Structure 1
Amino acid sequence: MNQNITDSSAHPNRAIVAWLVIGLLAYLALPWYAIQDSNGLLQIPNVFSSSEAGNGLMQASTHGRPWLWLGLGGLLLAGIAAVMLPTRKQGAVLIAGGTFGLLGLLGSAFSIGAKGWSFAWMNASFGELASNQFGIGWGAVIALVALVVLTAFGAARRGYFKGDLFIAAAVFGCAALLALFIMFPVLKALSAAFFAQADDGTSSFAPTSMWARIASERNFGLSCFVGGQRCGVAWNTLFLGIMTATSTTILGTLMALMAERANKRYTKPLNILAMLPIITPPFVVGLGLILLFGRAGVVNQGLEWAFGIEPTRWFYGWFGVWVAQTFAFTPIAFMIMRGVVQGIAPSLEEAAQTLRADPHRTFMTVTLPLLKPGLANAFLVGFIESMADFGNPIVVGGQFSVLSTEIFFAIVGAQYDQGRAASLAWILTGFALAVFAIQRSLLGKQNFTTVSGKGDSGIAMPLPPSVKRIVYATALPWMAFTVIVYLFAFAGGFVQTWGRDYTLTLSHFKNAFGIEMGEFGLVWAGTAWNSLWTTLKLAAISAPLTATVGLMIAYLLARTEFKGQSAFEFSALLAFAIPGTVLGVSYILAFNVPPIELTGTALVIVLCFMFRNLPVGVRAGTAAFKQLDKSLDEASMMLRASSVQTLRHVVLPLLKPALVAALVYSFVRAITTVSAVIFLVTAENELATTYIIGRVGNGDYGIALAYCTVLIILMSCATALIQFLVGERKLGRRKGAAAPISAH
């Protein structure tokens, strides 16, 4: 049955007509361009009377923008297909109309909009139009969406996607989102490295300028080895990334072995520690370490009191950043490795012991090799997290520069240099993708399957005594030290001035979150309320969007096959491999000028949250779909249900845990992120993390730590909710299961 039941025989073109009407209404009823300092939807009554709020038809016919006829012509051409029978010929007409409209609108928009993206043939066709170009508004957005959907319908009618209109529209729609909000901004930002900027602000194409910027002494200098003060920032970042990835992987593995193979009583405390980096901003550890080892920290004060050693800033630099990142990212490595340790089938270890291997040899030759996928993933995550980290280097880095901070100062510093920022982004992205490729090449052809359909005793082999001693000697002190660091970070918000006056006080909370009774009722008098409400609002908007798009992409990857699926999957997961700093720079450079002018708005922050956290939804959905047999979908389709009905009534109810996980995790990460949005915030749309960074920069650690405490409490409630609703994933082993009877 090639033609899906989505197109019933009574109304075979109902969906086509609906989207055609939507596209035409966008041309007639909505403002075509974005309206400054106003919601375009409020200007709907003025679409026929105002040049600023004019609809697409009026802009094309009356206000001197004839290129908009191209999109309307594409819709009208697609309208011819609406009266045709659902055949391959109808598909050809739909593709022709949709493609003509899309290329016409997008080609003209980019040719006369952003600098550096000009096409001579389009300018020759429409004259000097750059002065008349504005950012697209509601009308243009909805018209473009309608043209994309109609093109997708045409592909389905031509026989692609098994003739399913919904699947075709979903693939085209998700691909358009990935291209627009991941591939386009990243490529646009990276392309800036190939342009040289003149003194008058103009830029010209100069490919050699990129290599000059990248190969500069400031990036790859090695003067620190020959008596100089510092090495290049690229070497600093690579060195720090390798150090952090190594230390977090080792510590995370030891903690996972202790939780699963040594003593179960440590499992719950380790689970709590594992959630800390998720529910806290990334620089909280750095602040706690400053209270311990900073110039006015407890350690320096103790040394001065006991031995007369004058306090210094010895902790600030690469060592402080490495320690802070190791504390911050080790719990993530623990969560990765714990799942891998749980997945090792005890029968493999039992087989080795049956062949007279002692526990130590079994661990070294069987257990440890089976941990390779987890070790590689933990190393990759630690490396990327280190390179993308902005908070800890800015807080405890001192004069030690890394790529993320250099990119930040290249954009917001006194010497605005987007070419240098783009060149640094190339280096940062190259490092991340290189480690990603090495990991894939090392593990891609190896098989680490440990869980099959065969019976298993479920009794894991305990750790050998020598390994257990190493695990305890390393993991237990680290756990204790981690608790101390977080306690100091928590306590810092409750004392007057750390290092000078330890009087207990709530003044920092009052300054940040004070509430007063005014003439007209309650007044949110605290300085932090505005950033907190903005953060919660934008995170609440982005979280369901992230979960929805992520699970839809996971559904398409798991349940359909189409050409270009590998590139589609790569684009969806690219945001994981791209450091947050690079994505933030990409958004500020790509969406700062027409036709997509979003800089300074709350929408650009929502989009950055959404696509930065998109891999979370994709991975959660992909893992959930692997547990659902395709026969469920096929049974629904055999009962003549459409793909939409199958997704709604069969698939989604079984995906509730993955949906809740993606929702809550996206919400939490949106609140605690800093590197990706540090470039996008404004005074009107200030976020919690940027507010805290600002306070730290001013030396006001009390209010910063008080704010962190409030965020920790809020995020703890969110993670408690996810644990309650989702529960803990298990492999199906039963406690006390009898060992399989061996055949003799």
Structure 2
Amino acid sequence: MRAMNAKRLTQWLVLVFFVLFLALPLLKVFVTAWPQQAENPLAEMSHVFNRKWQESFKNSLSYALIATSFSTLLGFLLVYGANFTQIGRRFIRFNTRILLLPMLLPTITYGFVLIYAFGKQGLWSKISGQQWFNIYGTIGILLGFVIYTLPPIFMLINNSMKYVDTRLFIVSRLMGDKWYTSLHKTIISPLYRVLAVAFLQGFFMTFTDFGIPSALGGQTPFITTLLYEGFMGTIPDFQFGSMVALTMLLPSIVSVVILNYLQKKMVRYDKPQCLVLKKNTFRDNAFRVLFLVTSAFMLLVFLVLFVIPFMGSWPNKLYFTLEHFQKFVQDQFLMKTLKNALLMSLLTAVFGTLLAYFAAIVTSRGKEHTWFKSAIDSISAITNSIPGMVLGVSFLLIFSGGVLHNTLAILVIVTIVHYFSTPYQMAKEALQKMNLNWENSARLMGDSWLKTIWRILIPSSRETILEMVGYYFSNAMVTISAVIFLSSSNTMVITTKLKELQHFGKFNEIFILSLFLLIINLGVQNLIQWIRRSILNENEKKSFTRIGYMLRTFRSVR
């Protein structure tokens, strides 16, 4: 009975949390968008869809489609090269780490490093003696979006391609099929679903991104910058901003419908095997060059972070100095921003992991299908498809002037809600693989539900919990869209401070903050990997100890 009470209490606490911090804020956006005193509300709302909105929506849509199409194609080629060639495991691991580097930085930083790398006075423009291209506008925005979307698209496709059975490809070639026929039938066709998911994920990321358009957009309007103007412009218009926020949900609805349809198209293998493919010098060298070019471009872009802050004054005073770092350490406001970001990320990682883990426990540890499971799964899908800026706007509307207004707590809560889906799915996947009879056995032994979680489930899923903590921490450090409307001078975090520093043109401080953010994220990720390896080594030692004990027992019996 106590176990059922604790479990039921957990269910209600999780539901109440999402009612307060997801359902009610979104409802407030709908209410604000609806004209209260207009004779014809629909006609009044239609005024939102003016020429500026149409241009902004068109730009966001077209840039997202173009950038994501290129990222998906490039990501597929890189993943194919990593799995279906013989270019060396070390080479692939090293280049993969470079490809994933942008995930540890906020998107607004991409814009600044691109400007200082390829702008008129950029590092590589100065070295080559000429500007390679106009960084503001189309080329710069597309480059920023590709850098932003390539790492997650690469990870999504790579995780699925590892399970593709290469025997089918070899059999197809032996049957006399052309290489492109074999490629389509045995590799691309089984990956239709994941390719579509990767494309939708990249499209959604670019369509709802605020950082890159705000840094590189110039005079080109985007739906996210239009939303920012509606709430934070010279003359705020909350009704207009709320309507823009609702229009940002249109791609989300379409993506959810498509993803639900694609769930039925999954291809499974009984025992997938990865056989060693025949060596092909031309093929291997071609993919080796592709990896090198992509990684070199990433390094060319982000090398600026490690150069500009150590220069006297770019591009006039080109001598090494630590003066900017000394000023940074002495600046109380910048140091406070760094401390706020660290504290917010730590609190988000701890409480977000607790929420996602306990939500996963009550939905995965049981054979019966309950309404609560359906509710939490629906909440997970909703949080995964709602743009961060819409969440930020909804929190601003409902909590403005309240207890949470201008506090670090509201930043923590909105970030927990925004990134809830992935940690929840991580925990659910891990918990579903465990024996469902553990709780029954523990109850017979006299353990309560909470003791069972503490003694059995948590130790058995430590690696997953670490991954959840790392995911929440890294994303809390780099998020800007969800917190841009909610931070104040006292609760400013790194990403929102970057936007403020951009307004004053303080790029040295921008790069130093970004550099600290990168170092912190790298340090935390390496620490998590070290702990994870320690857990694996500990488990291996326990396994060998058990085997040794069994062998000694067997010999003594004999």
Q: TM-score band, normalised by the shorter chain? A: 0.7 to 0.9
Structure 1: which 5+ runs fail to align? 8-163, 197-202, 221-231, 515-524, 731-744
Q: Number of aligned pairs?
A: 532
Residue matched to 1:194: 34
1:608–1:677: 8 Å Cα contact kept in structure 2? yes
Where do residues 338-357 of structure 1 align in structure 2 (5 Å cutoff)?
Answer: 338-353=158-173, 355=175, 357=177
Q: 2:306 pairs with 456, 474, 490, which one?
A: 490
Give TM-score scaled by structure 2 length: 0.88
SS in 2 for 1:502: strand
**CA distance in 2 between partners of 1:640 and 1:537 (Å):** 39
Residue matched to 1:91: none
Q: 2:376 pairs with 561, 568, 578, which one?
A: 568
1:492–1:706: 8 Å Cα contact kept in structure 2? no
Alpha-carbon spacing, 1:208–1:463, altered in 2? closer, same or farther (3 Å): farther
Where do residues 639-678 of structure 1 align in structure 2 (5 Å cutoff)?
Answer: 639=445, 641-678=447-484
2:123–2:304: 8 Å Cα contact kept in structure 1? no
Alpha-carbon spacing, 1:496–1:696, altered in 2? closer, same or farther (3 Å): farther
Residue matched to 1:499: 315
Cα offset, 1:261, TM superposition = 2.5
Q: 2:202 pairs with 370, 382, 394, which one?
A: 382
Structure 2: which 5+ runs fail to align? 537-558
**CA distance in 2 between partners of 1:209 and 1:469 (Å):** 61
1:183–1:571: 8 Å Cα contact kept in structure 2? no
**CA distance in 2 between partners of 1:626 and 1:274 (Å):** 32
Segment drifting more, 715-724 vs 187-196: 187-196
Residue matched to 1:556: 362
Cα offset, 1:347, TM superposition = 4.2
Residue matched to 1:607: 413
- Is 1:272 aligned with 2:97? yes
**CA distance in 2 between partners of 1:279 and 1:479 (Å):** 16
**CA distance in 1 between partners of 2:400 and 2:306 (Å):** 39
Residue matched to 2:292: 476
Residue matched to 2:400: 592
Give, as a single letter, the amino acid of the residue that structure 1 aligns with 2:41.
Answer: P
**CA distance in 1 between partners of 2:431 and 2:39 (Å):** 46
Residue matched to 2:80: 257
Alpha-carbon spacing, 1:540–1:457, altered in 2? closer, same or farther (3 Å): closer
Segment drifting more, 244-253 vs 631-640: 631-640
Residue matched to 2:329: 513
Give TM-score scaled by structure 1 length: 0.67
**CA distance in 2 between partners of 1:465 and 1:388 (Å):** 42
Which runs of structure 1 show a deviation greater than 6 angstroms over 4 or more consecutive aligned residues? Answer: 462-467
Q: Deviations 1:243-290 (Å, cap 9, x if unpaired)?
A: 222122122222222222222233222331244123222222222210
Alpha-carbon spacing, 1:206–1:656, altered in 2? closer, same or farther (3 Å): farther
Alpha-carbon spacing, 1:273–1:187, altered in 2? closer, same or farther (3 Å): farther
Q: Deviations 1:482-528 (Å, cap 9, x if unpaired)?
A: 111111232121112323332222222122123xxxxxxxxxx4541
**CA distance in 2 between partners of 1:623 and 1:709 (Å):** 34
**CA distance in 2 between partners of 1:312 and 1:297 (Å):** 10
**CA distance in 2 between partners of 1:464 and 1:424 (Å):** 53
**What CA RMSD, in Å, does the superposition of the two structures yield over aligned residues?**
2.7
1:194–1:205: 8 Å Cα contact kept in structure 2? no
Alpha-carbon spacing, 1:469–1:615, altered in 2? closer, same or farther (3 Å): same
Q: Which has the higher contact order (CA 8 A, sep 6+)?
A: 2
Name whichever structure is richer in helix by fraction. 2
Residue matched to 1:404: 224
**CA distance in 1 between partners of 2:154 and 2:510 (Å):** 28
2:108–2:498: 8 Å Cα contact kept in structure 1? no
Q: 1:577 pairs with 382, 385, 404, which one?
A: 385
Q: Deviations 1:290-313 (Å, cap 9, x if unpaired)?
A: 01222322455467x56xxxx799
**CA distance in 1 between partners of 2:305 and 2:404 (Å):** 36
**CA distance in 1 between partners of 2:237 and 2:355 (Å):** 34
Where do residues 353-502 of structure 1 align in structure 2 (5 Å cutoff)?
Answer: 353=173, 355=175, 357=177, 360-441=180-261, 443-450=262-269, 452=270, 454=271, 457-459=273-275, 461=277, 471-502=287-318
Q: Deviations 1:98-140 (Å, cap 9, x if unpaired)?
A: xxxxxxxxxxxxxxxxxxxxxxxxxxxxxxxxxxxxxxxxxxx
Cα offset, 1:585, TM superposition = 0.6
**CA distance in 2 between partners of 1:277 and 1:672 (Å):** 10
Residue matched to 2:24: 184
**CA distance in 2 between partners of 1:335 and 1:347 (Å):** 23
Residue matched to 1:129: none
Alpha-carbon spacing, 1:588–1:457, altered in 2? closer, same or farther (3 Å): closer
